[in-house]
Amino acid sequence: MHWSELAPQLVNALSLGGIYALIAVGYTMVYGILKLINFAHGEIFMCGAFVGVIALSAGWSLVPAIAAACAFCALLGVTIDRVAYQPLRSAPKLAPLITALGMSIFLQNVAMMVWRSGVRSFPKLAPTYEMVLKKAPENRQALLDEVASRLEKVRDGKYDEAANGIFLGEYRVAKKNFEEERARDAQSAALPEMEKRLATARENLPRVVAVARIPDGVRVEFRNGTGDALKTLADLRKQSQQDLKVPRSAVEWGQETREHWLERSATILGVNVEWKQPVIWVVTLALMLALEFMIRKTTIGRAMRAVSLDKNTAALMGVSVNRIIRLTFAIGSSLAAVGGILYALKLGGGVVFNMGTQVGVIAFSAAVLGGIGNIRGAALGGVVMGIITSLATWKLGDWGIGGVYGPAAAFLVLIAVILFRPTGLLGSKSVERA
């Protein structure tokens, strides 16, 4: 096994392991306080991925999209506890366990109804294009100014002025139909549906973030998840040439696409590393350290540890047990949301309503592997699971068995750990098991 082959797999494994760790922490925090396995946690991860991808597709940058996903999932986690688990605080342990499974299935079906069963693609992050005139007539500068001016109108939302409707497509048709119907009958029953169609068409239009003039050309940056940027640029250039009466044969454009920095890569020690992978490592490590600091050094952390040890005694000491439990669900769900967006970013593919099932089971296994109820154990278990899963998928594919069976190797290791060290790698022997 040569280093040049192994190193990329290890880089990928550490990224995946960091994501598993973020999700596993949610399982282990809830178990540490309630002695409950929240099987709906994988669906919270899925919802976070959906909200993040939708926000990015709407043009949000990465940090606000992550913040929106965290807020949504924190609220979802607290709601799940309030509706499904709080009424069963004093019930036998089997009752909340069955409720958790039911909540998992319920959330999957709700997600399928809301976001449909198809795959929602991860948007292209803020592509930038540089257009340079390789061949142009005498009025070169006038042509560049015309193109830049039209792009600035697109940036400002003045689509109709930018290209006289050439690249507007469905938006132009929907707007015309809506205006004609409103002029004909302001009380028409068809107007709300036509207005909805117009709003949808407007949302699908390409959005320009920034325009800059460069030597012999123009640089334009589109928003995340923009429409057909290349067609927009081609149509704007065509319209500009027509208005300036420049023959098509007199112009030759050169165009370079510059990807978002997260989608670029660099060669480090002979290994090709995508920048999004170190970002995943840094985000995971920062969140884990912040969580560890909060648990060990803050008043809220002490209250969490007190509730985990003895709820009744903590309540007698003035701790609001239900408040601490809700806060635990909010923190764990927020971390799952971050994991969901990073997972979608890492794969560069799409999200689907049932994606939380397999990832959730692996993350739960990581929590058990590290020592259920132990936050450091969850982090270690996530990394170990990521390494085992990635390397097994790689080697099984090479051996012709099929990489799809890679996660099975991780579960075999998990079984071995449970047989020979039931409390996990970092778990205490006094840990109560469900």
Please tell me the pTM assigned to this model.
0.83
Average pLDDT on 272-281 reads 87
Averaged pLDDT of the chain: 87
- Please report how many Cα atoms fall inside a 13 Å half-sphere around the Cα of residue 37, on the Cβ side: 17
Average pLDDT over residues 378-386: 91
Domains contained in the chain, CATH given: 3-123+266-420 (1.10.3470), 128-262 (no CATH)
Rounded Cα gap, residues 265 and 186, in angstroms: 55
Per the model's pLDDT, the better-predicted residue between 378 and 406 turns out to be 378
Write the single-letter amino acid at 326.
R
Structure confidence at residue 170 (pLDDT)? 81
Helices (H) and strands (E) in the chain, counts: 16, 8
Does position 350 have pLDDT exceeding 60, yes or no?
yes
**Sign of torsion, CA 293 74 385 397?**
negative
Q: How big is the chain by its Cα radius of gyration, in Å?
A: 27
CA pair distance 352, 164, nearest whole angstrom: 38
Q: Which pLDDT value is given to residue 242? A: 87
At 306 the pLDDT is 92
Give the best-scoring range by mean pLDDT among 87-96, 408-417, 424-433.
87-96
DSSP 428: -
For 275, residues 6+ apart whose C-beta sits below 8 A from its C-beta are 261, 262, 263, 264, 265, 266
Q: How far apart (Å, rounded) are the C-alpha atoms in residues 122 and 349?
A: 6
pLDDT tens-digit readout, 5-26? 788 888 888 899 999 999 999 9
What integer pLDDT is reported at residue 429 of this predicted model? Answer: 55
- pLDDT at residue 403 above 70? no
Contact 73, 48 (CB under 8 A): yes
Among 256-270, 302-316, 364-378, where is mean pLDDT lowest?
A: 256-270
What is the average pLDDT across 187-206? 86
pLDDT over 70, % of the chain = 94
What does the pLDDT read at residue 114?
92
Q: Which residue has the higher pLDDT, 266 or 199?
A: 199
Q: Bridge-partner residues for 351, per DSSP?
A: 120
pLDDT for the residue 3: 66
Q: Residue 86 half-sphere exposure, CB side, CA atoms within 13 Å?
A: 14
pLDDT of residue 61: 84
Q: Mean pLDDT throughout 358-367?
A: 89
Q: How confident is the model at residue 433 (pLDDT cuts 50, 70, 90)?
A: very low
Is the pLDDT score of 115 beyond 70?
yes
Answer yes or no: is pLDDT of 431 > 70.
no
**pLDDT tens profile 223-232:** 887 777 888 8
Say whether 267 sits in a helix, a strand or coil: strand
For 197-206, 216-225, 263-272, which range has the lowest pLDDT when averaged over its residues? Answer: 263-272
What's the pLDDT tens digit per position in 167-188?
677 888 888 888 888 898 888 8
- Return d(Cα 225, Cα 59) in angstroms, integer: 6
Name which residue leads in pLDDT, 109 or 411: 109
- CB contact at 8 A, 226 and 124: yes
**Confidence (pLDDT) at 402:** 62
Condensed to tens digits (0 to 9), the pLDDT of residues 27-55 reads 999 998 888 889 999 999 999 999 999 99
> Does 91 or 401 have the greater pLDDT score?
91
Least confidently predicted of 66-80, 123-137, 385-399 = 385-399
Buried b (16+ CB within 10 A) or exposed e, 419-431: eeeebbbbbeeeb
pLDDT at 76: 96
